[in-house]
A = this chain, B = another copy of it.
Amino acid sequence: MTVAETPQDPGPVRLSLSSRFENIEMAQHLCGKLLEGRDVSEETKHWILMALREGLANAIKHGNGQNLSKRVHVEMRVADDTLEIRIRDEGPGFDPKNVGDPLAPENRLKTSGRGIFYMKTFMDDVRFGRAAAGGMEIVLTKKLNASSETEGGER
């Protein structure tokens, strides 16, 4: 007689952190927990956590200017085998159209400008918007058990 537990959809998980880069790992740790026991490869999980890191770094740096009185807000949810991560800051926002292409020859050797590109590479979709509460909000989504995994470049 053996009875196993069933995993559950835990509903939206909301986290807010002060604007320190060290806190990025807290959100990653929590996201890892949310993905635990789900049908997602270690590989995919790795790239999701990297995208989360990039989004949070931008919110902390460009959004909140590392101002400790401003916070970054993360909402994570898994529904229909799709992970949705919303990252909101308390900053002025920006227009993603003005962001350069890091693959353009003149940008190739720049020391910055790759974060959004990595997010787009590793997630299925990245959307940018202004949050109702103010600040910039980016929404990252990723289908978890996609049969063909194409992220992370060829090897």
Interface of A is mostly: mixed
Tell me whether A121 is interfacial, beta carbon within 8 Å: no
A71 to B15, CA, bound (A): 13
- Residues A23 and B13 in contact, CB atoms below 8 Å apart: yes
- Residues B26 and A33 in contact, CB atoms below 8 Å apart: yes
Tell me whether A34 is interfacial, beta carbon within 8 Å: yes
Partner of A11, one of B12, B17, B33: B17
- Residues A20 and B33 in contact, CB atoms below 8 Å apart: no
Q: Which residues from B are CB-within-8-Å of A71?
A: 14
Provide a sorted-by-A list of 13 A–B residue pairs whose CB atoms are within 8 angstroms: A8-B20, A10-B26, A11-B17, A11-B23, A12-B18, A13-B16, A13-B17, A13-B23, A13-B26, A14-B71, A15-B30, A29-B30, A30-B33
- Residues B25 and A33 in contact, CB atoms below 8 Å apart: yes
A11 to B23, CA, bound (A): 9
Closest to A32 in B: B29
Tell me whether A68 is interfacial, beta carbon within 8 Å: yes
Tell me whether A22 is interfacial, beta carbon within 8 Å: yes
A68 and B11 in contact (CB under 8 A), knowing A26-B30, A30-B29, A33-B29? yes
